[in-house]
Structure 1
Amino acid sequence: MSASVTVLLVEDDEVIRRSVGMVLERYGYHVSTAGDGLTGLELFREQRHDVLLLDVMLPGLDGIGLCRQVREWSLVPILMMSARGDALDVVSGLEAGADDYVVKPVDTSVLVARIRSLLRRASFAPSPGQAPGPGPGPADGGAGDLVFGDLTVDPQGLVVRRAGEPVALAPTELRLLLEFAANPGIVLDRQTLLRNVWDYGWDGDSRVVDLCVQRLRKKIGADRIETVRGFGYKLRR
């Protein structure tokens, strides 16, 4: 792993902050750290970071609030850390825009695997702030474009449009949509989506799938992705 990959770790427990930082540096990451949410937000605004690793419980500005503020202008991959793994913590973090979460204490190999997965997903998306090219609208469609009603997906250019207007998707949302678009009308269960979108080699928590589907629906249309109760989700043709 290249040292050019920078992780911002925001954690108020000094022991955890130091130990996790040392582990990530051994894997070749450059690590910036902060002990509270406001300092973390300031660091994020001042420096470029490739991954944001946030504790949920932080003094001042907590991890949920920090996640929301970052999401107002950045699509950087965000991994939340929760000491309890309570449903409320998990759901709140994912609804705020986090891409994934881990429960503390977390095995270092699992943490590094999740970070690598986030970076792979981020590599599928245009860099934050990069505007999509003009391209064709959904009425004519370009070669290779996938068209679903007013929704057009360009899987090569990684551009999504709804009624001709560009749709800004976070990297995980984009990979999820690409997975659906490659299998229109086919029901995909949560375990399949965890493997193909989140790169989990094991059964992860399906709540990450459900919350990401909810976020995606808000951007591409609530009726575009259908829930098949007891089985999973499918993209309407």
Structure 2
Amino acid sequence: MQPSAANVQVLIVEDDPDIGKLLAMTMRENGMTPTIAEDGHVMQSLLRSNTFDLIILDVMLPGEDGLTLCRKIRAEKTIPIILLTALGEEVDRIVGLEVGADDYVTKPFSPREVVARVRSLLRRASYGLVSTTGHRRLRFDGWQIDPMRRQLHDPTNARVALTTTEFDLLLAFCRNPGRVITREELLSLTHSGLAGPIERSVDVHISRLRQKIESDPREPLLLQTVRLGGYTFTASVEEV
């Protein structure tokens, strides 16, 4: 059963007090519980002592910047991360995705837009609404993916951490093995179009996914690029 919004804990990492207060007020008005950290040191302390459902992380912070902090968080946790940035160039957004962010919001932002992105990401992360059908575990090449628990295990049964978007992409491929899927279709299947839609963002997430499931990510065998088409998942997939 889906928990109520009041149970959603959002960590806002923002050094501008006005922006931090605006985001916190927006979260409260939508029934969520916000906590503000003004820098990475406070953020890391809060993460050690509390459990959060999502992080809104400003890129331009004193001390360690948001990209560095995002990379550190992602090395240990699968918690959804939305980057907050004044950097509007596509290359800056792509760098954010490369270090493990699930989405981003550019300043100046609309509070309604932030809420929409938070809700979309929480639905995907917590409740697995990539598809309305099919909750059985799937096996491919010795790997197992569990749609209900949103977990991936390698052939040795070790759990492999995936970001929300990486999991959604892999699940979409496992449910469509052998079929060429365009970038536009992947954005639709994974509900990740909020981040643009920027087709290159799909390429970034797939590159990260290959690092985790391919023996040699530079010569991928499972997840192959189709020139002028998109991607295809070559593994045989069965329900277990």
TM range, normalised to the smaller chain? 0.7 to 0.9
Does residue 168 (structure 1) correspond to residue 166 (structure 2)? The answer is no
CA positional deviation for 1:64: 0.9
Q: Tell me the CA shift for residue 104 of structure 1.
A: 1.4
The amino acid across from 2:179 in the alignment is I
Q: How does 1:62-77 map to 2 (within 5 A)?
A: 62-77=65-80
Q: Does 1:115 align with 2:107?
A: no
2:82 counterpart SS class: strand
- Report SS of the residue matched to 1:92: helix
- Once residues 148 and 32 of structure 2 are traced to their aligned partners in structure 1, the CA distance between those partners, rounded to angstroms, is 29
Q: Give aligned pairs, total.
A: 219
Greater fraction helix: 2
The 3-state SS of whatever aligns with 1:198 is coil
Q: Which residue, 86, 110, 114 being the options, matches 1:83? A: 86
| Alignment check: 8 A CA contact 1:124 1:175 kept | no
Deviates more, 1:202-211 or 1:38-47: 202-211
How much has 1:151 moved relative to structure 2? 3.4
Give the equivalent residue in structure 1 for 2:228. 230
**How big is the shift at 1:149?**
2.9
Counterparts in 2 of 1:207 and 1:46: CA distance versus 1, 3 Å: farther
Following TM superposition, by how much is the alpha carbon of 1:36 offset from its aligned partner in structure 2, in angstroms? 1.8
Structure number with greater CO (CA < 8 Å, separation at least 6) is 2
SS of residue paired to 1:3: helix
Residue 31 of structure 1, CA deviation: 0.5
**Alignment TM-score, normalising by the size of structure 1:** 0.83
Structure 1 portions without partners, runs of 5+: 126-143
- Output the CA distance in 1 between the equivalents of 2:43 and 2:121: 20
The TM-score, its normalising length taken from structure 2, stands at 0.82
Matched residues in 1 for 2:79 and 2:37: separation? 17
Separation (CA, whole Å) in 2 of partners of 1:2 and 1:156: 20
C-alpha RMSD of the superposition:
2.2
Give 1:51 deviation, angstroms: 0.4
